[in-house]
Amino acid sequence: MAFDTSLVKDKKFVEALKKSPHLSNYLETYIIRGNPIPIYTEKLEGEHKKLKDPNLIYPISETTYIHINPHSNSADGYVEYAIIEPDEPDRALMDNADKLFALHAGTMNPPIELTERFNMIDQYLDKTISVVNGPIDYSKVNIMKLKNLSVYEKDVINLKYHFLRKRAGMGLFDPFLTDPHLEDISVVGAGNMYVIHKMFGALKCPVFLSVEEIDDLIISMSEQFGKTVSHAKPVIDATLPEGSRINIVFGKDVSRKGTNATIRRFASTPLSITQIIPSKALNSTEAAYLWIMMAEGMSVFINGETASGKTTTMMALTAFIPSNWKIVSIEDTPELTLPHSNWISEVTRDTGNQNSSVTMFDLLKAALRQRPNYIFVGEIRGAEANIAFQAMQTGHPVVSTFHAANMTALLQRIVNPPMNYTQDKRRKSKHCIIPSCSHRP
């Protein structure tokens, strides 16, 4: 029985329900449990952040929706972050699609760029799928004798969504990576997943994963970004194709609850300083002072706790650097996006072999020979600090971030090994330190 849309007053919500059967089925089940009809919004606004108990549904793609659900009755008090997506297709149908794709894959030249790969497979499905009006017993289809795949019209959206997610996306992580409102995505081992939402803070996902499911997911995912995780190499830092940063700790021998992973999201378009000021990370006077310093080639250290906005602030400061200046950026994991055309982006390489690995120390020494107007270092944490400080003393301005809770902690870090930035050296350097950009949620 179809959901009675007359219960919903919002016209756009009704349109979404008619377009997406899985959304209609989800809402029907939600209401039967005695819950109120959620607010539907096509775009989250600042006013939604002020809601005491947000009960919202918003779309993140043509087929996928997010429900911020305060009525999940979670024993630990978490508000729920529920993903509403097309149902899993019939197993036999998915197997047939995989077999047919394998037959054609040899004739394809898959692009490296994620969007192009997605579009290529989407076009392949459009050419391959033959839509029929009646149900099909997919287990009786001999796909090896066919060039096209006959699919019942009601199964098309389910097949396309999950096939694309498997072949051109990041599997289970895909909807999380599609939502622009997420800052962090966490798999903490066997159990539920958790996210940090830009508006609603820490939320719990009803997705429950076993140890085996997590291991399979992480291994498959790591192969896609070219850093295969294993028990021999259980700790990995990498960048996903769409730009997010992932940290993986693999296996129960080093992570007691099972493999864990944390994905840090970054905005595709860096925030400007005028967007950062309303968050109270900086006020307008401080921003103006930084503008003068950056334009004059001063060195800047941005200090703060984990997830406090250090990298975001650092990228915003690049707008204050003259557009015709040369910049060299050095990072362990590429996160910086700079607007300057004369920008060299360098990344460390860890091969496990001292002779072939390229460290932050190596790249900083090389940067001094590249005549940059500015050197950006993703984070200074070790012996490379000495090279950075020497660069400042020889007239090469450096911008970098430090992990430290406050100014006292920062000074303790830089004057002690392995940095050893003595008081005598500090007198010879001209730089500004921002003690804290913002606080963690």
In the chain the domains, ranked by start, together with CATH numbers, are: 1-85 (no CATH), 91-169 (no CATH), 273-434 (3.40.50.300)
Please, how many CA atoms are within 13 Å of residue 391, restricted to the half-sphere of its CB?
31
Structure tokens at 22: 């899985």
Contacting residues for 327 by C-beta, under 8 A, at least 6 apart:
318, 321, 338, 340, 342, 343, 344, 372, 373, 374, 375, 376
Mean pLDDT, the chain, as a whole number?
A: 86
**pTM listed for this prediction:** 0.78
Quick one: pLDDT at residue 228?
A: 83
Residue 294 vs residues 35, 320, 370, 399: alpha-carbon distances, Å? 54, 6, 20, 9
pLDDT given for residue 344 in this prediction = 95
Contact of 319 with 291, CB cutoff 8 Å: no
Quick check: 438 pLDDT over 50? no
Convert the pLDDT of each residue in 307-348 to its tens digit: 778 888 889 999 999 999 999 999 887 888 888 999 999 988
CA distance 338 to 360: 19
Instruction: Confirm if 400 and 301 have CB atoms less than 8 A apart.
Output: yes
The pLDDT of residue 288 is above 50: yes
254 or 310, greater pLDDT: 254
Give the pLDDT confidence score for residue 19 in this predicted structure: 92
- Return the pLDDT at 58: 98
In this prediction, residue 435 carries a pLDDT of 47
Name the DSSP letter for residue 113. Answer: S
Is-contact 42 12, C-beta < 8 A?
Answer: yes
- Measured CA to CA in angstroms, residue 71 lies from 31, 34, 44, 200, 206 at distances of 11, 10, 20, 15, 12
